[in-house]
Amino acid sequence: MYNLIVRNARIARPDGSTFEGDVACEDGKIARLDHHIGAEARETIDAEGHLLMPGVIDPQVHFREPGKEYKEDLGSGSRAAVRGGVTSFLEMPNTDPPTTTQAALDEKFARAAQKCVANYGFFIGATPENLHELNTASPVCGIKIFMGASTGCLLVNDPKDLERIFSQGTRLIAVHAEDEARIRARREQFAGRVDPAAHSELRDNECARHATELALSLSKKYQRRLHILHLSTKEEVALLRQDKPSWVTAEVIPNHLFLNTGDYTNLGTLVQMNPPIRTITDNMGLWAGLHDGVIDFIATDHAPHTLEEKALGFPNAPSGMPGVETSLPLMLTATQEGRCTLAEIQKWMCYGPAEAYRIPNKGKILEGWDADLTLVDLHTPRVVHHDEMFTKVRWSPWVGRTLTGWPIHTIVNGEIAYDHGQIREHTRGRPLTYLN
């Protein structure tokens, strides 16, 4: 007797091929994969031939707890995650207070254990003063450095402080790469501009390229594991294509693949984020980087702010947009448009992030691996509506778009967490572990 069997699924193999069959789950693991499993289970899903994929790992989200729970919390964020087929997430430290100490990290784990329906991991945030904590706080998926200021108070912009952090320790460093000095110098020039498009001009491609170059040079100097968060420009892709050491990874988010400065006209500050949305040429450069492996995987940078806050207009509106529940449908829609393959989706959204952050046994449907799965409907197109969003802020930059590839069921550690639009409220995710 298994805990759960998914029957009659089209099961994705890591290479993108599929086979018709059943998946049995027990003790949080994939216990058996076969064309037909005769045994009984406490619960059975009839997949009716739909595609069963590994659960998505979203390696960059902001769930706002503690401090800004009116925008999102670990409960609501994780519910939005499983709605979107995301079974594990890595959450950022720019909360209030920020996650810069062991005590703050412990507090997040305690809260997550209470309310998360997906698996969870957290970054420790860098300040100019907390080097000891950066190297000792545990467990963490990595160190987050804001090289340019964004939402919250975290910032390390002095090259001497950056060098100290890169030179001491071995943990992965994930950087928000924007050049704070250049942003500050240009702010005066843009004073008086109230059109949101000014945001992309002010924090221009050079802001991102220059900071990425600095992070890369420090990583090379100290052979320090580096992850470049939300790559946004064709120039950064070119830089990495020239020379990307084996210990460096990079990610892109759907906002930078599918939105560009033309979208300010209709969406205004809703699409204001850091680093900003760019041009169509940048969209194309990022797609090319994904396809040729310069960019390793996809995150969402889910960064919810309320509609009231966004209505403050430029330059007063906060930067960021929600995305955790729409990334998989967006990418599966792109697959059906011939822009990428199922093999690539699994690499970019499932096992790629697991490998980079050294999370064992996740991201592939294999016997003995964790039973984190999502059953997706590739036949029914659905238009994105604000009032259907699970994120607390109840809006999406993708509203009005027709997406095909929405999860029907999401399974976390062998338990159904999301079932036809409903959350199974009793399920709980687990803390992620990392191989070192």
234 is a contact residue toward ligand DOR (CB under 6 A): no
Selected from 319, 327, 396, 413, the binder of ligand DOR by CB under 6 A is 319
Question: Residue 56 in contact with residue 85, Cβ under 8 Å?
Answer: yes
Catalytic residue among 301, 372, 387, 419: 301
Minimal CA–CA distance to 202: which of 180, 172, 225, 171? Answer: 180
Q: What gap in Å lies between CA 301 and CA 358, rounded to an integer?
A: 20
- Binding mask 170-189 vs ligand DOR (x if CB under 6 A, - otherwise)? ------x-------------
Q: Does residue 301 have an active-site annotation?
A: yes
Rounded CA gap, 119 and 102, in Å? 20
Q: How far is CA 268 from CA 197, 230, 276, 305, 397, in A?
A: 8, 21, 12, 14, 10
Binding of residue 202 to ligand DOR (CB under 6 A): no
**Which residues ranging from 50 to 79 are in contact with ligand DOR (CB under 6 A)?**
62
CB of 337 to ligand DOR, least distance (A): 27
CA pair distance 262, 267, nearest whole angstrom: 9
Contact 246, 284 (CB under 8 A): no
Element (H, E) at 52: strand 51-54
Position 94 contacts ligand DOR (CB under 6 A): yes
Q: How many other CB atoms sit within 10 Å of the CB of residue 42?
A: 10
- Tell me which residue has its CB nearest to ligand DOR: 320
User: From the CB of 388, what's the least distance to ligand DOR, in Å?
Assistant: 22
The reply on whether position 203 binds ligand DOR by CB under 6 A is no
Min separation Cβ 359 and ligand DOR, Å: 22
Least distance (Å) from ligand DOR to the CB of residue 199?
10
Run of H or E residues at 346: helix 342-346
Q: Structure tokens of 103?
A: 């005590």
Min dist CB 238 to ligand DOR, Å, is: 23
* Residue corresponding to tokens 């996809």: 298
Instruction: State how far the alpha carbon of 406 is from the alpha carbons of 83, 330, 403, in Å.
Output: 8, 9, 8
Binding letters toward ligand DOR, positions 252-291, x by CB under 6 A: ---------------------xx-----------------
Contact 374, 87 (CB under 8 A): yes
Other Cβ atoms within 10 Å of 370 Cβ, number: 26
- Residue of the chain from 76, 99, 100, 150 that contacts ligand DOR (CB under 6 A): 150
Q: Does residue 151 interact with ligand DOR by CB under 6 A?
A: yes
Q: Does 320 bind ligand DOR (CB under 6 A)?
A: yes
In the complex with ligand DOR, which residue's Cβ is closer, 112 or 277?
Answer: 277
Classify residue 374 by its DSSP letter: E
Residue 212 or residue 333: which is nearer to ligand DOR going by CB? 212
> Which of 323, 405 has the CB closer to ligand DOR?
323
Residues at the site binding ligand DOR, with contacts judged by CB under 6 A: 62, 94, 150-151, 176, 273-274, 303, 319-320
Which positions are catalytic? 301
